[in-house]
Amino acid sequence: MRGILGPIGRWLNLRFEPEDSVLAVLRHPVPAALERPVGWWYVFGSATLAVFIVQVVTGVGLAMAYVPAPNSAYESLQFISNDATLGHVVRGIHYFGAGAMVVLVLVHMTQVFLFGSYKFPREANWMSGSLLLLATFGMAFTGQLLRWDQDAFWAIVVAAEQVSRAPFVGSFLASFVIAGQNVGGATLTRFYATHVFLIPAALFGLLGLHLYLVVKRGISEPPVAGERIDPRTYLARYKDLLGRGIPFYPDAAYRDAVVSFLAVLAIVVLAVVAGAPMLGKPPDPTIIVADPRPDWYFIGYFALLAIIPNGLESVIIIGLPTLAFLFLFALPLIRPTGERHVSRRPMAIAAVGLGLIVYGALTIVGFQSPWAPLAAKGASLPTTVLAGLDPAERNGADLFLRKSCFSCHVLDGAGGRRGPDLSNIGARRSHDQLATTILNGQGGAMPSFASALTPQELADLVAFLGSREKR
Amino acid sequence: MMDRRRFLSRVTLALSGGIAVLVGAPILGFLLAPLFANEPDTYVPVADLKDLTTGDTTLVNASDPSPLPWAGQTAASALWVRRLADRGASAFQVFNVNCTHLGCPVDWRADAKLFVCPCHGGVYYADGTVAGGPPPRPLFERAWKVENGKLLVKTQRLQTAANKTG
């Protein structure tokens, strides 16, 4: 190597002496077992780091053109997306990179969890990693708000409302989030500084600590069923293992490079093909026809907020994330020893499986949003519903649409999913029962329409619903 | 008796802490002062009375009386005004557009006489009381007054579950 570089290499080598510092770290020994295919499980931390660097680079680029003021941010984003050379690609990389960060951090943690690598003596690796997860979520959320469109504006309001549920300090936190008494001129710069300086500073610090610990404590050996962690013997056993180890660079690092390359390639291809997400309507608080949704990885949490029972909301909005994080953070202190292999830890498999199923289900429900009434605009009844109606029933069908019944009820496969399907309601309810339900509403789910219907309108609507019978 | 080394160590730590206090105090004050500002307490005009039909619920805009120069669109906000009578102390109900669940903007469906929230499906009656869904309380109402043929509405901080003026 130095032979190729010649005198310059020798000069540099004498000045920097990388052999016992940088190169020594790069070549630190890792367990020889990582040369087997099992080593491919160890790549996700490096891939996360690679995508993080992508985020830093594209983020700096975006910050060169983004104007973090409420009267200009939307226009500057349109400039970046539509006019600036390669602007939509850079924004796209930053967007897909954000999703990749969230996914990769979680995949990395899941792998570490299932391999039992968080146990002694690597508890602090895990704890610093769980703080990095928190910082990643913070970046993902604040980043979505910098996409200063209508969704971002209302997401800030929703964020303030959520933190306001915290006991004692809720009101203060809400003001802190929006940097004042209302979402206004001071709010966007607050989020900008948080996204660009505050959380990244924490990220860099935590990342330094995390990498220091990875090298200092060494990469965990692949778990073997029946081999329990015993703090009295583990360190000596691991030292012995490393004595027969392989250098991280390049024997193990090439796999990290392969997966990192594929991850970044996927991000760039998505950015070029799909591009950055379209900006929504401008962040104008007076446009109240809105349908605010977070980015896809937070949709499951958004769904949770819709389905938690009344009365438990403040407890769940504040308590659930806090408890979940504290549990994650403290996990290695709760289970520092014992079996590492997943075949001896059925609870670990159950936890991961349950987590995936629950959050996956919440995500699907979140995209469907069955609790949200359909927009009134542009709705129309299926033609099968309108066939063969007498004049009163026909009027009832019009009322069903106009009075927003259709927003929450399905008829012949079309309509809102919030309330029950009414395609066959005529067979199940008498006219009197129908009228009573429409007038009085039902148990906090269905509003009373007593003030919204004249007696004739009610009679027509009941006649129409009474004719809904599957033949 | 404290030896020289221990004394120097304490001096170093104390001076470092001093640096943190010297810089931290003004920064914290700068960041936190706006949060303790008094509640805005002025009335701003939102509509001419002739534009508000009795029996109807209408969307109006309210402007922040003293916005930051770069506030742009965020200097305005929207309100729902329900006119119940031509005059009198109960002629109007003025609602914040924010759903009391998590703050999304509710839309008025005149035919159904309901406010509907797009986020998690909160529904309110015309008088702001909860008709269904997750909202924990009725829509927040604003104080209002009539002057010179105009409806004026009192400014207010963002209303949340923890921080309610009304």
* ipTM reported for the complex, 2 dp: 0.89
Q: Are residues A362 and A404 in the same domain?
A: no
List the Cα angle B147/B152/B156 in 5-degree steps. Answer: 150
Q: Which of A345, A368, A391 is the last residue of a domain?
A: A368
Asked if B117 contacts B135 with a C-beta cutoff of 8 angstroms, the reply is yes
Q: How far is A194 from chain B (nearest CA, A)?
A: 12
Q: Are residues A331 and A450 in the same domain?
A: no
Look at A158 and B113 and tell me if their CB atoms are within 8 Å. Answer: no
pLDDT exceeds cutoff 80 at A235: yes
Question: Is residue A212 included in any domain, yes or no?
Answer: yes
What value does the mean pLDDT of chain A take? 92
Q: Are residues A172 and A239 in the same domain?
A: yes
**Bridge partner list, B152:** B45, B145
Give the model's confidence band at B67: pLDDT under 50 very low, under 70 low, under 90 confident, else very high: confident
Q: Are residues A346 and A391 in the same domain?
A: no
Asked if A408 contacts A419 with a C-beta cutoff of 8 angstroms, the reply is yes
Q: What percent of chain A has pLDDT over 90?
A: 72
What pLDDT, on a 0 to 100 scale, did the predictor assign at position A4? 63
Asked if B138 contacts B100 with a C-beta cutoff of 8 angstroms, the reply is yes
What pLDDT, on a 0 to 100 scale, did the predictor assign at position A364? 95
Residues of B whose CB is below 8 A from A306: 119-121, 134
Residue that wins the pLDDT comparison between A62 and A179: A62
pLDDT exceeds cutoff 70 at A392: yes
What pLDDT, on a 0 to 100 scale, did the predictor assign at position A70? 93
Q: Which of A316, A333, A368 is the last residue of a domain?
A: A368
The count of residues in chain A is 471
Question: Is residue A374 included in any domain, yes or no?
Answer: no
Q: Are residues A48 and A132 in the same domain?
A: yes
Please state, in angstroms and rounded to a whole number, the distance separating the CA atoms of residues A75 and A448: 44
Question: Is residue A378 included in any domain, yes or no?
Answer: no
Q: Are residues A12 and A80 in the same domain?
A: no
Instruction: Please check whether residue B160 touches A, CB under 8 A.
Output: yes
Domain that holds residue A13: 1-25
Give the model confidence (pLDDT) of A49-98 as tens digits.
999 999 999 999 999 999 999 999 999 999 999 999 999 999 999 999 99
What pLDDT, on a 0 to 100 scale, did the predictor assign at position B157? 85
Q: Are residues A218 and A344 in the same domain?
A: yes
Question: Is residue A376 included in any domain, yes or no?
Answer: no
Q: Is the pTM of this model over 0.90?
A: yes
Residues of B whose CB is below 8 A from A157: 98, 102-104, 158
Mean pLDDT value across residues A357-382: 86
Q: Is B158 helix (H, G, I), strand (E, B) or coil?
A: coil
In A369-415, alpha helices (H):
383-386, 391-402, 405-408
Q: Are residues A85 and A170 in the same domain?
A: yes
Q: Which of A388, A390, A465 is CA-nearest to residue A422? A: A465
Give the model confidence (pLDDT) of A443-466 as tens digits.
778 899 999 999 999 999 999 999
Question: Is residue A162 included in any domain, yes or no?
Answer: yes
Mutate to test the interface with A, among B42, B70, B159 (most CBs of A within 10 A): B70
Q: Are residues A9 and A51 in the same domain?
A: no
Question: Is residue A373 included in any domain, yes or no?
Answer: no
Q: Which range (A283-297, A331-345, B1-15, B41-55) has the least confidence?
A: A283-297
Give the model's confidence band at A168: pLDDT under 50 very low, under 70 low, under 90 confident, else very high: confident
Q: Are residues A411 and A347 in the same domain?
A: no
Q: How far is B62 from chain A (nearest CA, A)?
A: 9
* Count of domains forming chain A: 3
Q: Which of A312, A335, A368 is the last residue of a domain?
A: A368
Look at A154 and B103 and tell me if their CB atoms are within 8 Å. Answer: yes
Place of tokens 């005009």: B45
pLDDT exceeds cutoff 50 at A2: no
Amino acid at A78: Q
What pLDDT, on a 0 to 100 scale, did the predictor assign at position A388? 85
What pLDDT, on a 0 to 100 scale, did the predictor assign at position B163? 60
Q: Which range (A11-20, A75-84, A375-384) has the least confidence?
A: A375-384
Give the model's confidence band at B162: pLDDT under 50 very low, under 70 low, under 90 confident, else very high: low
Give the model confidence (pLDDT) of A195-212 as tens digits.
999 999 999 999 999 999
Q: Which of B74, B111, B157 sits opposite A403 (nearest CB)?
A: B111
Q: Is A103 helix (H, G, I), strand (E, B) or coil?
A: helix
What pLDDT, on a 0 to 100 scale, did the predictor assign at position B80? 97
Please state, in angstroms and rounded to a whole number, the distance separating the CA atoms of residues B32 and B157: 16
Q: Which of A162, A221, A413 is CA-nearest to residue B119? A: A162
In A181-316, alpha helices (H):
187-193, 199-217, 234-243, 253-273, 299-307, 313-314
pLDDT exceeds cutoff 90 at A382: no
* CATH at A304: 1.20.810.10
Q: Is A404 helix (H, G, I), strand (E, B) or coil?
A: coil
* CATH at A424: 1.10.760.10
How many other C-beta atoms are found inside a 10 Å radius of the C-beta of residue A64?
10
Place of tokens 């990395």: A108
Among B residues 32-91, those touching chain A with beta carbons less than 8 Å apart:
32, 34-35, 37, 39-40, 59, 61, 64, 67-78
Amino acid at A245: G
Q: Are residues A165 and A45 in the same domain?
A: yes
Please state, in angstroms and rounded to a whole number, the distance separating the CA atoms of residues A166 and A103: 28
Please state, in angstroms and rounded to a whole number, the distance separating the CA atoms of residues A16 and A336: 40
**Bridge partner list, B58:** B81
pLDDT exceeds cutoff 60 at B166: no
Q: Is B46 helix (H, G, I), strand (E, B) or coil?
A: strand
Q: Are residues A412 and A297 in the same domain?
A: no
Give the model's confidence band at A128: pLDDT under 50 very low, under 70 low, under 90 confident, else very high: very high
Q: Is A41 helix (H, G, I), strand (E, B) or coil?
A: helix
Q: Which range (A11-15, A287-291, B46-50) has the least confidence?
A: A287-291
Question: Is residue A199 included in any domain, yes or no?
Answer: yes
pLDDT exceeds cutoff 90 at A342: yes
Look at A289 and B107 and tell me if their CB atoms are within 8 Å. Answer: yes
Q: What is the largest CA-CA distance in chain B?
A: 86
Please state, in angstroms and rounded to a whole number, the distance separating the CA atoms of residues A390 and B161: 49
pLDDT exceeds cutoff 70 at B93: yes
